[in-house]
Amino acid sequence: MAKAVFMHKQGSGYHDLPEQHYHFPNMYLSRAKPSLGDWIIYYRPGKGKFDRVYTAIAEVESITPDLDSDSHHYANLRPGSFLAFDNPVPLKTDGTYANRLIQRADGKPNGLAQAAIHPIGEEDFWAILNRGFDSDEEDELPRVHELVEPNVELELGEAQQAEYVVPTPRRTVETTYTKKVRSRLFRRQVIRAYDKTCAFTGLRFINGGGRAEVEAAHIQPVEADGPDIISNGLALSGTVHWMFDRGLLGLSDGGEILVSRHINNIDEANRILLPDRRAKLPEKLSDRPHPIYLSWHRENCFKH
């Protein structure tokens, strides 16, 4: 087993769903297979403002052929293992690449740097991980339980490898984040993406201690296998959050706020919602609610 970097950019044309699976051409199969049962880091290429950064980690559970294309495979991720960084980590800092395997002796990138899947060393993996989750922005969070720091553990064991199936790993590197830490990271990232503003009411309340009173709501709950990612979240005020979780409010793929007919007093509901019934969503497209989670909420939670 070995850790790897998977390049992913929204709108690339591949059938990626980063928290579930990664789509890649067969030419990268030999580079993807060593990552079975191990962790990968997502890297976002490009030349834009938010590009050329490492963005998240996930664990590869299996690799399977794309049944619709003989020329592609999927790397399937262990459910719940995807976790976006609090701070995207730059490709290089002060002339040094975060993944030193892609840097030549003269400081320039080598051929690996352009490969959609390429290896990364253990030391560089953990260094990027620590930078990605290091944050001093606790003041953005609402009043919740105290933060429990991440606990990173190394576990060693004996096993055998198997092709195209989940291997019982010879060496498992397990990043153990408590449920409380994952929840805290999710809240911080959603609140930041929505600029501490309720998506349905447009209200932005900051308490006397400088903390945002808005809450981070899962669209598809964790109990229903919903991931802790920004695109599965909404920043909502307390009352609106309660109504959304109980299916009294919903959201269309186009950002229209949906109001259930089961609400006893529609006029009162309309009074707290944005007048045009258009949710105030993040400017960054990748932070906006993903249709797959919105669809789940409308089909399983929203009371039509």
pLDDT in tens, 70-113: 999 999 998 878 888 888 999 999 999 999 999 999 999 999 99
Q: Which of 177, 193, 228 is the last residue of a domain?
A: 177
User: How much is the pLDDT for 136?
Assistant: 54
Same domain, 233 and 141: no
pLDDT digits (tens, 9 = 90+) for 224-277: 988 888 999 999 999 999 999 999 999 999 999 999 999 888 888 888 999 999
Q: Are residues 253 and 132 in the same domain?
A: no
For residue 117, pLDDT beyond 70:
yes
Q: Residue 174 corresponds to which tokens in the numbers above? A: 């397990």
CATH number at residue 83: 3.10.590.10
Give yes or no for residue 150 having a pLDDT over 60. no
**Pair (56, 27) in one structural domain:** yes
Q: Quick one: which of 182, 251, 185, 265 has its CA closest to 220?
A: 251
Cβ distance 94 to 114 under 8 Å?
no
Same domain as 162, residue 23: yes
Residue 154 has pLDDT above 60, yes or no: no
pLDDT higher than threshold 50 for residue 159: no
Q: Sort strands 233-236 and 83-90 into parallel, antiparallel or unpaired.
A: unpaired
Enclosing domain of residue 79: 4-177
166 and 49 within one domain = yes
Whether the full predicted model's pTM is greater than 0.85, yes or no, is: no
Instruction: Examine the domain organization and report whether 165 and 196 are in the same domain.
Output: no
The per-residue DSSP string of 170-212 comes to: SEEEEEE--HHHHHHHHHHHHHHHTTT--TTT----B-TTS-B
pLDDT over 80 at 178, yes or no: no
Instruction: Judge if 157 and 227 occupy the same domain.
Output: no
Is the domain of 139 the same as that of 246? no
The CA angle 21-25-29, to the nearest 5 degrees, is 80
Structure tokens at 266: 């529609």
297 or 9, which is more confident: 297
Q: Which carries the bigger pLDDT value, residue 25 or residue 135? A: 25
186 with 233: CB under 8 angstroms?
A: yes
* One domain, residues 139 and 215: no
Q: What is the mean pLDDT of the chain?
A: 83
- Specify the 3-state DSSP secondary structure of 29: helix
Structure tokens given for 203 = 């209200």
Token pair 């969070």 in the structure block, residue? 141
Q: Are 166 and 202 in contact (CB under 8 A)?
A: no
Q: Which of 274, 269, 300 is nearest to 200 (CA)?
A: 274
16 with 133, same domain? yes
**Residues for the chain: how many in total?**
304
The first and second tokens of residue 231, run together, are: 């695109």
**Number of domains making up the chain:** 2
- Same domain, yes or no, for 37 and 115? yes
Last residue of a domain, one of 129, 155, 177: 177
CA–CA separation, 85 vs 68, rounded Å?
32
Q: Are residues 55 and 158 in the same domain?
A: yes
pLDDT at 176 over 50: no
When pLDDT is averaged across residues 126-135 and rounded to a whole number, the result is: 82
Question: Which amino acid makes up residue 275?
Answer: P
Q: Which tokens is 225 given? A: 């296998």
At residue 286 the predicted structure's pLDDT band, cuts being 50, 70 and 90, is confident
> What token pair was written down for 251?
């959201």
**Pick from 144, 159, 177: which residue ends a domain?**
177
